[in-house]
Chain A
């Protein structure tokens, strides 16, 4: 049972434009969300997080938006750069639990 879903396996964006990666979740108990970036043959690298008490968190070119009523979060990257080409995973956890649940990832390609 996939509690965190990334329905777009891949996304291509022109350099300089905005990349929007989406993530949906089913468990209303989730209150803490993370985004990770992964290059081939490497481990995931933490990008940005958001707590359910907020609806937006920004860090440089990366902004995460949380819509609790829709159980949806998105990662915006602007402007997109070729070095952003990677697989992006969202992850969620509940205060009552011990683990993070990961989505299946979205492969982003930024075209120079």
Chain B
């Protein structure tokens, strides 16, 4: 069984550009979570999605950030007009149902120049 896949593993963007981060959950998992980890900090919840639905986006900044989990294809975290403060590691996790153990991907390290 393939684990949670994230790509790209590293992403470099200039200020003002868009960043698209992809996450393919484990087979059979319909619950996807996105987290951000800033240097020297823990994992901060951003958004929780189930197929085609955003369940909880309380941790996501109101502007420039959006997430989707379409019926077909990976979940996408999109950051528009990136700023230097967006530089972080972004982790995706999936689970078979709500509040089950979450399985994490390897993360995408975003660097904004």
Contacts and interface: CB of A to CB of B under 8 A. Distances in A.
B48 A44 contact: no
Interface in A26-41: 32, 34, 36, 41
A98 B104 contact: no
B74 interface: no
Contacts, number: 55
Given A43-B4, A43-B91, A89-B43, A98 B48 contact: yes
Interface of A: 4, 6, 32, 34, 36, 41-46, 49, 89, 91, 93, 95, 98-105
Given A49-B101, A100-B45, A43 B107 contact: yes
Contacts of B59: 99
A104 B101 CA distance: 19
A101 B107 contact: no
B34 to A, nearest CB: 11
Nearest to B106: A43
A4 B44 CA distance: 11
A43 B56 CA distance: 22
A45 B104 contact: yes
